[in-house]
């Protein structure tokens, strides 16, 4: 059962990391679109 627990933790951390990357990508895209629309 320890393998199942460690797998669950690994998936959870991977999911959190993925959400963080998505958020950063959307944030940078939003900032770039603001810069472009300022021109």
Q: Kindly tell me if the per-residue pLDDT of 1 is higher than 80.
A: no
CA distance 2 to 21: 29
Q: Kindly tell me if the per-residue pLDDT of 5 is higher than 90.
A: yes
- Token code pair at residue 30: 């939003």
Residue 39: the pLDDT is 64
- pLDDT by residue (tens digit) across 15-36? 999 999 999 999 999 998 888 8
Residues 11, 17, 19: CA angle, nearest 5 degrees: 100
Residue 26: the pLDDT is 94
Q: What is the pTM of this model?
A: 0.57
Cα within 13 Å of Cα(35), Cβ side? 6
Residue 2: the pLDDT is 84
Give residues with Cβ within 8 angstroms of 5, minimum separation 6. Answer: none
CA distance 20 to 39: 29
Residue 34: the pLDDT is 84
């Amino acid at each position: 059962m320890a393998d199942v627990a460690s797998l669950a933790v690994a998936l959870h951390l991977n999911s959190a990391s993925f959400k963080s990357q998505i958020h950063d990508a959307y944030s940078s895209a939003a900032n770039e679109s603001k810069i472009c629309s300022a021109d």
